[in-house]
Amino acid sequence: MSGLSDDAKELLRKPYYAWATTVRPDGSLHSTVVWVDVDGDDVIFNTAIGRAKERHLRRDPRVSISVLDPNDGFHAVSVSGKARLEEEGADGVIDGLAKKYLGVDTYPYRTPTERRITVRIPAENVVYSAGG
Protein backbone atom coordinates (compact mmCIF):
# COMPACT_ATOMS: atom_id res chain seq x y z
CA MET A 1 0.00 0.00 0.00
CA SER A 2 1.30 3.49 -0.70
CA GLY A 3 0.50 6.73 1.08
CA LEU A 4 0.00 7.41 4.76
CA SER A 5 -3.43 7.11 6.34
CA ASP A 6 -4.45 9.67 8.94
CA ASP A 7 -4.06 6.96 11.62
CA ALA A 8 -0.51 6.16 10.47
CA LYS A 9 0.37 9.86 10.49
CA GLU A 10 -1.03 10.19 14.01
CA LEU A 11 1.23 7.37 15.22
CA LEU A 12 4.28 8.91 13.51
CA ARG A 13 3.54 12.29 15.13
CA LYS A 14 3.74 10.85 18.64
CA PRO A 15 7.10 11.15 20.44
CA TYR A 16 7.79 7.44 20.02
CA TYR A 17 11.25 6.36 18.97
CA ALA A 18 11.60 4.90 15.51
CA TRP A 19 14.26 2.87 13.83
CA ALA A 20 15.67 3.60 10.42
CA THR A 21 17.14 0.85 8.28
CA THR A 22 19.58 1.66 5.48
CA VAL A 23 21.72 -0.52 3.20
CA ARG A 24 25.47 -0.77 3.80
CA PRO A 25 27.87 -0.94 0.83
CA ASP A 26 28.18 -4.72 1.25
CA GLY A 27 24.38 -5.09 1.04
CA SER A 28 23.84 -5.83 4.73
CA LEU A 29 21.28 -3.79 6.64
CA HIS A 30 22.04 -1.08 9.21
CA SER A 31 19.34 -0.12 11.74
CA THR A 32 19.52 2.78 14.17
CA VAL A 33 17.11 4.55 16.50
CA VAL A 34 15.92 7.94 15.21
CA TRP A 35 13.43 10.69 15.97
CA VAL A 36 10.79 11.03 13.24
CA ASP A 37 7.95 13.25 12.18
CA VAL A 38 5.55 13.67 9.28
CA ASP A 39 5.71 16.49 6.75
CA GLY A 40 2.77 16.25 4.38
CA ASP A 41 2.85 12.67 3.13
CA ASP A 42 6.56 12.23 3.83
CA VAL A 43 8.26 10.80 6.90
CA ILE A 44 11.30 12.81 7.96
CA PHE A 45 14.25 12.33 10.26
CA ASN A 46 17.50 14.20 10.68
CA THR A 47 21.14 13.22 11.00
CA ALA A 48 24.57 14.77 10.75
CA ILE A 49 26.50 14.77 7.50
CA GLY A 50 29.17 12.10 7.60
CA ARG A 51 27.29 9.64 9.80
CA ALA A 52 26.63 6.12 8.55
CA LYS A 53 22.96 6.76 7.68
CA GLU A 54 23.82 9.73 5.50
CA ARG A 55 26.70 7.93 3.76
CA HIS A 56 24.57 4.85 3.10
CA LEU A 57 21.67 6.90 1.71
CA ARG A 58 23.92 8.85 -0.68
CA ARG A 59 25.04 5.53 -2.16
CA ASP A 60 21.67 3.74 -2.01
CA PRO A 61 18.56 5.80 -1.16
CA ARG A 62 16.43 2.84 -0.06
CA VAL A 63 15.31 3.23 3.54
CA SER A 64 12.70 1.92 5.94
CA ILE A 65 11.29 3.64 9.04
CA SER A 66 9.30 1.75 11.66
CA VAL A 67 7.50 2.92 14.78
CA LEU A 68 5.99 0.68 17.44
CA ASP A 69 3.52 2.08 19.96
CA PRO A 70 5.14 1.32 23.35
CA ASN A 71 1.66 0.86 24.85
CA ASP A 72 0.43 -1.64 22.25
CA GLY A 73 2.87 -4.03 20.58
CA PHE A 74 0.43 -4.57 17.71
CA HIS A 75 0.03 -0.86 16.90
CA ALA A 76 2.78 -0.09 14.44
CA VAL A 77 3.68 1.53 11.15
CA SER A 78 6.48 0.77 8.74
CA VAL A 79 7.25 3.08 5.82
CA SER A 80 9.76 2.39 3.08
CA GLY A 81 10.83 4.31 0.03
CA LYS A 82 13.71 6.16 -1.59
CA ALA A 83 15.08 8.95 0.56
CA ARG A 84 15.83 12.48 -0.52
CA LEU A 85 18.51 14.35 1.44
CA GLU A 86 17.95 18.05 2.14
CA GLU A 87 20.46 20.38 3.79
CA GLU A 88 18.26 23.47 3.53
CA GLY A 89 16.15 23.84 6.65
CA ALA A 90 17.79 20.88 8.40
CA ASP A 91 18.74 22.90 11.50
CA GLY A 92 15.09 23.86 11.97
CA VAL A 93 14.01 20.25 11.55
CA ILE A 94 16.38 18.97 14.25
CA ASP A 95 15.23 21.74 16.58
CA GLY A 96 11.60 20.75 15.92
CA LEU A 97 12.40 17.13 16.65
CA ALA A 98 14.18 18.15 19.88
CA LYS A 99 11.01 20.02 20.89
CA LYS A 100 8.89 16.95 20.14
CA TYR A 101 11.12 14.40 21.89
CA LEU A 102 12.87 16.43 24.62
CA GLY A 103 10.60 19.42 25.17
CA VAL A 104 13.41 21.90 24.41
CA ASP A 105 13.53 24.64 21.78
CA THR A 106 17.04 23.92 20.49
CA TYR A 107 18.75 20.60 19.80
CA PRO A 108 21.18 20.34 22.75
CA TYR A 109 23.68 17.82 21.34
CA ARG A 110 24.92 19.83 18.35
CA THR A 111 28.68 20.09 17.96
CA PRO A 112 30.32 23.24 16.57
CA THR A 113 31.47 21.59 13.31
CA GLU A 114 28.36 19.50 12.72
CA ARG A 115 26.23 20.01 9.61
CA ARG A 116 22.70 18.63 9.75
CA ILE A 117 20.73 17.02 6.96
CA THR A 118 17.07 16.03 6.75
CA VAL A 119 16.12 12.67 5.32
CA ARG A 120 12.75 12.80 3.57
CA ILE A 121 11.00 9.52 2.75
CA PRO A 122 8.00 9.54 0.42
CA ALA A 123 5.68 6.81 1.68
CA GLU A 124 6.00 4.45 -1.29
CA ASN A 125 5.20 1.37 0.79
CA VAL A 126 3.28 1.52 4.06
CA VAL A 127 2.30 -1.24 6.45
CA TYR A 128 0.04 -0.05 9.24
CA SER A 129 -1.50 -2.07 12.06
CA ALA A 130 -4.14 -0.43 14.26
CA GLY A 131 -3.27 -2.60 17.22
CA GLY A 132 -5.37 -4.65 19.51
The set of residues, in sequence order, having a beta carbon less than 8 Å from that of 32 and lying 6+ positions away, is: 19, 20, 52, 53
Q: Is residue 23 part of a domain?
A: yes
Count the domains in the chain. 1
Q: Is residue 74 part of a domain?
A: yes
Res 3 pLDDT > 90: no
Rounded to whole angstroms, the Cα distance separating 36 from 103 reads 15
Res 129 pLDDT > 60: yes
Res 2 pLDDT > 80: no
Question: What is the pTM (predicted TM-score) of this model?
Answer: 0.93
How does pLDDT run across 56-84, given as a tens digit for each residue? Answer: 999 999 999 999 999 999 999 999 999 99
Rounded to whole angstroms, the Cα distance separating 11 from 108 reads 25
Interval 97-125 mean pLDDT? 96
Neighbours of 67 (CB within 10 A): 22
Interval 114-118 mean pLDDT? 97
Question: Where residue 57 sits, what CATH number does that domain have?
Answer: 2.30.110.10
Banded model confidence at residue 1, pLDDT cuts 50, 70, 90: low
Q: Is residue 59 part of a domain?
A: yes
Res 107 pLDDT > 60: yes
Q: Is residue 1 part of a domain?
A: no
Rounded to whole angstroms, the Cα distance separating 4 from 31 reads 22
Mean pLDDT score across all residues of the chain: 96
Sheet with 37-39, side-by-side order of all strands: 37-39, 42-48, 116-122, 84-86
Res 42 pLDDT > 80: yes
Q: Which residues of 77-89 are buried (b: 16+ CB within 10 A; e: fewer)?
A: bbbbbebebeeee
Q: Is residue 76 part of a domain?
A: yes
The domain in which residue 15 lies consists of: 6-130
